[in-house]
């Protein structure tokens, strides 16, 4: 099964005008259209042993022709019940609170790669901060941290009946804690809906958007150093989501829920400008 490359109108762009897309078999990021039926997009083992990406499926019931779908080429098609035998990939385990342990680094394949994921940014968004899903990557030559921000337009969120707020609110307000927070001109950040899964020697980020479309990113193949921009998603690959680079590479700060520094506010503006 092959996913479809983002079309020209939804090109993934890097700061500086570079395009991340190369050949379909090597591109690190893919846009997934919204399925027609009910259910949540999930990643499953591919039925083709030569496939280089996981199978993208939606299963909402017993997999008759109306309840389950699989992505083939650029379109969703019915998933027969006889083919819906595998279980979805499990998400990478995440730290809880501010606790960090080297054991939380999960091995990815047999080539010395590891990945660490933290939901610490979820609380930040609820407190009105610009934050997101934090992802640590290691291999034999580097150790760095990405932050994936879910950023949508206010018009798109309101059209789907989702709550938005223009000002930060106290974290004790349960009625507003789940609202998207305004971070720019009609731009709002919300907790990232998705997960990181390990498939062979790859770590994939699956992000689900409010319109039920999704983004799929091969994290170890994503170029580092400049923000990666996708529809509804900004990935900060610069490793400076909290202060200077040496501090950003601290695992303890990686899972910290401390309020960002003044320098980070400057970095936030930089990210939003890089991904208009």
Domain ranges, ordered by start, for the chain: 8-274
Phi-psi region of 116 (alpha: psi -120 to 50; beta: other; left: phi over 0): beta
pLDDT, one tens digit per residue, over 98-155 is: 566 777 789 999 989 999 888 777 777 877 788 889 888 888 777 788 889 999 998 8
For residue 4, the tally of other CB atoms under 10 A from its CB is 16
Indicate whether this model's pTM tops 0.75.
yes
Instruction: Please report the pLDDT score of residue 216 as a whole number.
Output: 95
pLDDT, one tens digit per residue, over 184-224 is: 888 999 999 999 999 999 999 999 999 999 999 999 999 88
State how far the alpha carbon of 63 is from the alpha carbons of 31, 32, 83, 86, in Å. Answer: 24, 20, 9, 13
Q: Of 263, 260, 276, whose CA–CA distance to 130 is shortest?
A: 260
What token pair was written down for 260?
A: 């960002």
**Are the C-beta atoms of residues 189 and 132 closer than 8 Å to each other?**
yes
């Amino acid at each position: 099964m092959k996913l479809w490359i983002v079309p020209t109108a939804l090109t993934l762009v890097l700061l500086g005008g570079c395009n991340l897309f190369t050949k379909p078999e090597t591109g690190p990021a893919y846009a997934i259209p919204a399925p027609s039926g009910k259910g949540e997009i999930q990643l499953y083992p591919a039925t083709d042993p030569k496939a280089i990406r996981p199978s993208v499926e939606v299963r909402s019931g017993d997999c008759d022709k109306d309840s389950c779908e699989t992505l083939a080429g650029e379109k969703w098609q019915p998933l027969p019940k006889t083919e819906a035998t595998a279980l979805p990939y499990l998400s990478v385990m995440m730290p809880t609170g501010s606790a960090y342990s080297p054991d939380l680094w999960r091995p990815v394949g047999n080539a010395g790669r590891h990945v660490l994921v933290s939901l610490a940014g979820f609380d930040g968004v609820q407190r009105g901060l610009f934050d997101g899903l934090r992802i640590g990557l290691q291999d034999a030559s580097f150790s760095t941290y990405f932050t994936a921000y879910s950023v949508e337009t206010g018009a798109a969120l309101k059209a789907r009946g989702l709550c938005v707020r223009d000002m930060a609110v106290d974290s004790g307000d349960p009625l507003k804690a789940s609202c998207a927070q305004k971070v720019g001109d009609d731009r709002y950040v919300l907790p990232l809906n998705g997960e990181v899964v390990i498939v062979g020697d790859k770590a994939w980020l699956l992000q689900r958007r409010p319109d039920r479309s999704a983004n799929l990113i091969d994290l170890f193949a994503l170029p580092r150093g400049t923000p990666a921009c996708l529809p509804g998603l900004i990935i900060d690959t610069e490793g400076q989501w909290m202060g200077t680079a040496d501090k950003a590479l601290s695992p303890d700060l990686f899972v910290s829920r401390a309020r960002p520094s003044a320098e980070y506010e400057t970095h936030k503006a930089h990210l939003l400008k890089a991904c208009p």
